[in-house]
Chain A
Amino acid sequence: MNINKMTDHAGEWLRGSGPHHDIVISSRIRLARNIAGFPFVNRANVRQQHEVLALCHEHIVEQKLDDDVLWIDLRDSPQLDRELLVERHLISKQHAGSNNELPRAVAVGVDETFAIMINEEDHLRMQVLRSGLQLTEAFSHINHLDDVLESKLNYAYSQRFGYLTACPTNVGTGIRVSVMLHLPALKLTGEIEKVRRAARDMHLAVRGLFGEGSEAIGDLYQISNQSTLGKSEMEILADFETTVVPQIIAYEKQARQALLQQRPEQLDDKIYRALAILKHARMMGTEEVLQLLSHLRLGVNLGRINKIDMKTVNDLFLLTQPAHLQRITGRSMDPVERRAERAAMIRARLKGCEL
């Protein structure tokens, strides 16, 4: 496996398959772990950080944690590659960083269903990604990876506080369950604030496409648990799978039905305007594209447009991002060039579909 091949297709989280994929874009589970006997990353010296990196390399790559793992040393990867990994949700912005002195890496599974960041905020931050609502499956995968590593590494753990992490907000299970939801109808009907408020009342975090602090562009909302102590992994998962997510799905579906029944013209107008702009514009910014794609995706999901398939729409969500765009065209571009190139790429991809 090779990082160059990544730009050919959308990653796992945008595969557009899996249960409830019309609303649930992806399911993600992350575990934070630290190796006993070392200070946490922020207080470890460079030698200790190297040692952690070497230990992880040994147990992930040399001893084959998985059949095909791509190990990417982030100190010597080009900036564009690191941005690409961020756009594909395989590493965090923080991990992509800019400090080339800090020893850090990411191990990525061949199908991009898992990624393990080494020396991010914690020694190990592993994540498993699945498209659609597949939390149980994602958990059994990550739990397996964790078991294998745990049989070789001593994790920092306390009877009382569980898995010890650099930030006390992750201590305990160290688990972060996140689902990415596409909620265009709730946005269009003005109901989305209620979801945000309700989620906050349930002690859940609501974020945008690129995590912490990011705005919910393209009507994509990431909902994740905040409490990691005093609740088991299973309880946290069950909360999501049987309560939180199904209810938001039902709520979005109700809003979609309400739009279809009560304001079909306005709905179609949104969808077809989006398509018209996407098909004909000459300059396009990332955010504008994401918003238009969101309406297009809603149109495809509701059967208002039949000439475009979901895969094309999902691919465009990713391929129009700055690093992907530059990777595909094979040259780095300034923002103005990118806007033109982005518009051209979208026109090319949507050429086949006549209105």
Chain B
Amino acid sequence: MDSYCVGSWSGRLTIQCGDGGAEKGTALVKRKCDKCDKAATHHSVEIINGEKIEKHLCDQHAAEEGISIKTVQAPINELLSNFVKLQGGQPEEVDQGDESVTGPTADASEMEVKAGFACPECGLTFAQFREKSLLGCPECYKAFERQLCSLLERAHEGGVHHIGKVPVRAGADENRQSQLMRMRKRLDEAVNSEDYELAARLRDDIRTFEESAE
């Protein structure tokens, strides 16, 4: 089985061409193994600090070097839906489960208790989140913090804490954000109950509050 490799790749990653996946007749480079006379089936080029390190190995020597083809990573949305499915299970099954079990099962049943639990602000349940993969409001991040953390860790290559831009404005102040949420909720209720006088007043309050940066 022939396999081919073109060129260079990164410091962080290596293109390994050991699968013979390239179409026949597209050979650009053919090589012998670096360590014996057999045909090389695994090729890799790494650039580390500007220095190019090429390796061409046969199956046996590649195995000795611990080189293997990485498995393809699932796209993020798949990851998310698989993850929430995994965390969720089937609510009916868990209902009959014993609450006192320990280990991972205890975790799962705790998730199920959480599944019925709703965000106090927007009313979204974990089960609903699982269904659409969308959160309902900023408060959901607090309400589902525990479950989200492990999901975020997987979805963002281990990242669980924000690093980067911070809004200059009061936007960074979480108390203000919660207060805005409460004010807008009252406004919504006022409009619903057709109390337009109160609604107008609340609207003005919100405007003043929003414009009073810091």
Interface residues of A (CB under 8 A from B): 34, 36-40, 42-43, 45, 47-48, 121, 143, 146-147, 150-151, 153-164, 166-169, 171-173, 175, 189-191, 193-195, 197-198, 200-203, 205, 212, 226-235, 243-244, 247, 250-251, 254-255, 258, 262
Contacts and interface: CB of A to CB of B under 8 A. Distances in A.
Interface stretch (B8-16, B53-61, B87-95, B99-107): B8-16
A251 B7 contact: yes
Instruction: Among A154, A156, A232, find the residue whose CB has the most chain B CB atoms closer than 10 A.
Output: A154
B153 to A, nearest CB: 9
B86 interface: no
Contacts of A143: 165
B155 A169 contact: yes
B114 to A, nearest CB: 15
Contacts of A212: 77
A99 to B, nearest CB: 16
Interface in B21-43: 21-23, 26, 28
Give the 8 A-B residue pairs with the shortest CB-CB distance, closest first: A230-B159, A162-B162, A37-B180, A43-B136, A229-B159, A232-B164, A229-B156, A190-B23
Contacts of B26: 189-191
Contact of A172 (B6, B21, B162): B162
Interface of B: 6-15, 17, 21-23, 26, 28, 70, 72-73, 75-77, 80, 121-124, 132-138, 141, 148, 151-152, 155-172, 174, 176-177, 180-181, 183-184, 188, 191, 206, 210, 213
Contacts, number: 218
A354 B93 CA distance: 72
Contacts of B184: 37-38, 48
Nearest to A207: B75
Contacts of A254: 6-8, 28
B15 A194 contact: yes
A136 to B, nearest CB: 15
Contacts of B70: 197, 201
A117 to B, nearest CB: 16
Contact of B8 (A154, A205, A251): A251
A264 to B, nearest CB: 14
Given A34-B138, A167-B135, A203-B73, A190 B210 contact: no
A227 B9 contact: no
B165 A230 contact: no
B177 A42 contact: no
